[in-house]
């Protein structure tokens, strides 16, 4: 990331379009065109992996796979994998403002099955090559999903012991019995890589780079835990002996108990962090820059014992530290951003500074009316990314009127010179864009001045509104693009 630049945060799921949720087709290209018109050089997204419980992309069954719900039906029809009638049935009849996950989970799989039936012979050779190229993760992932369906959707911990513990004879029998189902899931991943690669290529042609997101943990119900249990702290039944989370913080008085298994860092260190290097090599093929979620866990991580009622029973433990970061810096083509938010002690702050990675400065956390905040634009360093907010924070307008104290609100008005006729979201963007930070990012919601109903996620909750907001196509208009371009020029980020 050279010079001063800027971009927009918008998950793929939040793209507009007729298919009930964002896809990797025309709507992705439309948004890239909007970014180019707005003078932006970065599109930041959330993890592309299949979501887990509550549709969270941070509780995924895979660290490598793509979400098949992002496959664009129009592109599948162009490839002859869907008929025009089937394409019409993929169009969502409800509101364009939310992803309807239940509807997608009910209607999309039958269409993808039909695409597989039409494409299994046509793409047989290509699929064999793809499986060989992705041999370090795809066979296990496809087999894992096939087994999950075979066991009626049961989580890994509830599978029969021979399959869960990878008894060789059992797996050999099931692999043969489920060969068609395994090939189906591999086929979807091949289509995903094809569609995503085309999107990224188009972005590069328009001068836009992609910032991806690496969730630090995986789900206990994942292909990684099943296929590589030695990577994690598990008991003999593959149940986590300790789980991830964070202590009480601004989001929760009892802390956050995420439920992810923790890594066996002693094992990873013995291997030279090979799994992590493979994972990040995969990320470098998908993205131009990668944000490492919960980066402070490289230094110290919160360990919650099995059976704990909430996160308050956890304690800090030493993470892998600089040896892991040094290994990741050896990965070719990998640029990193450190998500360094949350309550940090002096040791964690020193570690993050020593890493040399740009951290994150969040505007909605800046306006202490009494003290001095490191997030105020004038205090932000060059080697950082200034955000108006993130997918986990309230939108700026929501924070300003629903969550800020009277003192915080008044200070924000004074500092940013906020005016209703100009738009409060635009004032926030000017604040982030004027900072010394090399890169500035704003969620699309803040460009549009949206409030609480447009929040992407409320951490520590499983609400139906989480991960479901979508932008309307009409919002990606020349007036918004031109205003964004003007601000970007004004603060010399173009």
**Can you give the pLDDT at residue 249?**
77
- Tell the burial category of 346 from Cβ atoms under 10 Å away from its Cβ (0-12, 13-18, 19+): exposed
Is residue 421 annotated as part of the catalytic site, yes or no? Answer: no
Give the list of residues 6+ apart from residue 177 with CB closer than 8 angstroms, or none.
none
Distance set, CA 395 to CA 99, 213, 277, 452, 469 (Å): 18, 20, 35, 7, 12
Q: Are 37 and 485 in contact (CB under 8 A)?
A: yes
* Cβ neighbours around 480 below 10 Å, total: 18
Determine the 3-state secondary structure of 182 from DSSP: helix
Strand partners, 210: 43
> Which structure tokens are listed for 9?
């945060």
| Catalytic pick among 293, 340, 408, 446 | 293
- Chain centroid to Cα 12, Å, comes to 9
Reported in sequence order, the residue ranges of 341-381 that DSSP labels E, i.e. its strands, are 359-362
> Which structure tokens are listed for 291?
């944000």
| Catalytic pick among 86, 136, 392, 465 | 392
Whole-number CA gyration radius for the chain:
23
Give the Cα separation of 183 and 200 in Å (integer).
Answer: 26
**Can you give the pLDDT at residue 461?**
82
CA angle in degrees (0–180, nearest 5) for 475-480-483: 170
Give the list of residues 6+ apart from residue 206 with CB closer than 8 angstroms, or none.
32, 33, 35, 36
**Can you give the pLDDT at residue 2?**
72
> Which structure tokens are listed for 377?
């634009």
| Catalytic pick among 339, 340, 408, 446 | 339
Give the Cα separation of 296 and 321 in Å (integer).
Answer: 9
**Sequence-ordered alpha helix ranges (H) in 434-475:** 444-447
Is residue 392 annotated as part of the catalytic site, yes or no? Answer: yes
> Which structure tokens are listed for 389?
């907010």
Tens of pLDDT along the chain (494 residues) come to: 678 999 999 999 999 999 999 999 999 999 999 999 999 999 999 999 999 989 999 999 999 999 999 999 999 999 999 999 999 999 999 999 999 999 999 999 999 999 999 999 999 999 999 999 999 999 999 999 999 999 999 999 999 999 999 999 999 999 999 999 999 999 999 999 999 999 999 999 999 999 999 999 999 999 999 999 999 999 988 889 999 999 987 667 899 899 999 999 999 999 999 999 999 999 999 999 999 999 999 999 999 999 898 999 999 999 999 999 999 999 999 899 999 998 889 999 999 999 999 999 999 999 999 989 999 999 999 999 999 999 999 999 999 999 999 999 999 999 999 999 999 999 999 999 999 999 999 999 999 999 999 999 998 787 779 999 999 999 999 999 999 999 999 999 98
Is residue 420 annotated as part of the catalytic site, yes or no? Answer: no
Give the Cα separation of 21 and 485 in Å (integer).
Answer: 27
């Amino acid at each position: 990331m050279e010079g001063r630049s800027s971009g927009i945060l918008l998950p793929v799921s939040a793209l507009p379009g007729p298919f009930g949720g964002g896809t990797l087709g025309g709507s992705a290209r439309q948004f890239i065109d909007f970014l180019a018109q707005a003078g932006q050089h970065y599109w930041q997204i959330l993890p592309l992996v299949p979501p887990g419980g509550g549709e969270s992309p941070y509780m995924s069954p895979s660290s490598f796979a793509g979400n098949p719900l992002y496959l664009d039906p129009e592109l599948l029809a162009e490839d002859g994998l869907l008929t025009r009638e089937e394409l019409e049935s993929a169009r969502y009849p409800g509101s364009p403002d939310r992803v309807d996950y239940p509807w997608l989970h009910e209607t999309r799989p039958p269409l993808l099955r039909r695409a597989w039936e039409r494409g299994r012979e046509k793409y047989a050779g290509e699929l064999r090559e793809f499986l060989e190229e992705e041999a370090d993760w795809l066979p296990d992932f496809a087999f894992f999903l096939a087994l999950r369906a075979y066991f009626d959707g049961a989580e890994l911990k509830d599978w029969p012991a021979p399959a869960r513990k990878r008894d060789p004879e059992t797996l050999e029998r099931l692999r043969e019995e489920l060969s068609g189902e395994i090939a189906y899931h591999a086929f979807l991943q091949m289509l995903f890589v094809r569609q995503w690669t085309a999107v990224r290529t188009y972005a590069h042609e328009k001068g836009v780079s992609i910032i991806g997101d690496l969730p630090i943990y995986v789900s206990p119900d994942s292909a990684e835990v099943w296929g590589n249990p030695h990577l994690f702290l598990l008991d003999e039944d593959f149940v986590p002996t300790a789980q991830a989370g964070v202590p009480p913080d601004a989001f929760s008085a009892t802390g956050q108990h995420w439920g992810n298994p923790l890594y066996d860092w002693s094992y990873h260190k013995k291997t030279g962090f090979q799994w992590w290097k493979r994972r990040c090599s995969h990320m470098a093929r998908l993205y131009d820059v990668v944000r490492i979620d919960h980066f402070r866990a490289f230094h110290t991580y919160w360990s919650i014992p099995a059976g704990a009622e909430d996160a308050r029973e956890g304690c800090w433990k030493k993470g892998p530290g600089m040896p892991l970061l040094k290994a990741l810096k050896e990965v070719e083509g990998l640029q990193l951003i450190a998500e360094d938010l949350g309550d940090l002690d002096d040791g964690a702050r020193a570690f993050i500074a020593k890493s040399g990675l740009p951290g994150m400065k969040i505007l909605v956390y800046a306006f202490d009316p009494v003290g001095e905040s490191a997030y105020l634009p004038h205090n932000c360093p060059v080697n950082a990314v200034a955000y108006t907010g993130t997918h986990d924070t309230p939108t700026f307008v929501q924070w300003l009127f629903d969550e800020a104290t009277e003192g915080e609100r008044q200070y924000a008005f004074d500092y940013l010179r906020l005016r209703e006729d100009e738009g409060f979201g635009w004032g926030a963007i000017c604040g982030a864009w004027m900072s010394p930070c090399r890169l500035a990012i704003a969620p699309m919601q803040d460009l549009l001045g949206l409030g609480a109903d447009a929040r992407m996620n409320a951490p520590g909750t499983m609400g139906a509104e989480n991960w479901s907001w979508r932008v309307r196509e009409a919002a990606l208009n020349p007036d918004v693009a031109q205003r964004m371009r003007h601000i970007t020029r004004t603060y010399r980020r173009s």
